[in-house]
Amino acid sequence: MGLTIVGCGYLGEAVARQLQPRRTLLPLTLTTTVTERHAALRDLADQLLLCDATDPSQLLVALQRNHTAVFCLAPRGNQQVNADGYRQTFIDSFRCLRSLLPDLPHLRQIIYTGSCSVYGDADGDWVDESTAPAAGNGHREVLLESERLLTDMGDSKRRVCILRLAALHGPGRELDDRLKGLAGRERAGDGRSFSNWIHVHDAAGALIAAMDGAWSGVVNVVNDEPIRIRDLVDLSLKRQQLEPVHWSGGPAPASGNGRRIRNDRLKTLGYRLQHPMLNTG
Ligand SMILES: NC(=O)c1ccc[n+]([C@@H]2O[C@H](COP(=O)([O-])OP(=O)(O)OC[C@H]3O[C@@H](n4cnc5c(N)ncnc54)[C@H](OP(=O)(O)O)[C@@H]3O)[C@@H](O)[C@H]2O)c1
What pLDDT digit, counting tens, does each position of 69-79 carry?
Answer: 999 999 876 55
- The three-state DSSP-derived secondary structure of 233-255 is HHHHHHHCCCCCCEECECCCCCC
Lowest mean pLDDT among 3-7, 224-228, 232-236, 249-253: 249-253
> Taking the model in full, what pTM does it have?
0.96
34 Cβ below 6 A of ligand 1:
yes
Those residues with Cβ within 8 angstroms of residue 105's Cβ, 6 or more apart along the chain or in another chain:
none
255 pLDDT tier (thresholds 50, 70, 90)? low
Q: Is the CB of 263 under 6 A from ligand 1?
A: no
Domains parsed from the chain with CATH numbers: 3-169+197-225+259-268 (3.40.50.720)
Q: What one-letter code names the amino acid at 212? A: D
d(CA 140, CA 181): 28
Per-residue model confidence (pLDDT) at position 56: 98
What pLDDT sits at residue 185?
95
Answer whether 143 contacts ligand 1 (Cβ < 6 A).
no
Q: Is 5 in the pocket of ligand 1 (CB under 6 A)?
A: no
Helix (H, G, I), strand (E, B) or coil at 13: helix
How confident is the model over 123-150, as a mean pLDDT?
93
**Cα–Cα–Cα angle for 255, 94, 208, nearest 5°?**
80
Tell whether the model's pLDDT for residue 281 goes beyond 90.
no
**CA 61 remoteness from chain centre:** 24
Those residues whose C-beta lies under 8 Å from the C-beta of residue 241, and which sit 6 or more positions away, are none
**C-alpha–C-alpha distance, residues 159 and 263, integer Å:** 21
pLDDT in tens, 17-30: 999 999 999 999 99
Report pLDDT digits (tens) over 104-117: 999 999 999 999 99
Backbone φ and ψ of 56, nearest 5°: -60, -40
Computed from CA positions of residues 148, 149, 151, 155, in that sequence, does the dihedral angle turn out positive or negative? Answer: positive
Per-residue confidence (pLDDT) for residue 180, from 0 to 100: 96
d(CA 111, CA 208): 10
Residue nearest (by alpha carbon) to ligand 1 atom 46: 74
Alpha helices, H only, 137-251? 139-151, 175-179, 200-212, 229-239
CA of 155 to the centre of ligand 1 (A): 26
CB 86 within 8 Å of CB 142: yes
Residue 214 banded pLDDT, cuts 50, 70, 90? very high
Count of residues in the chain: 281
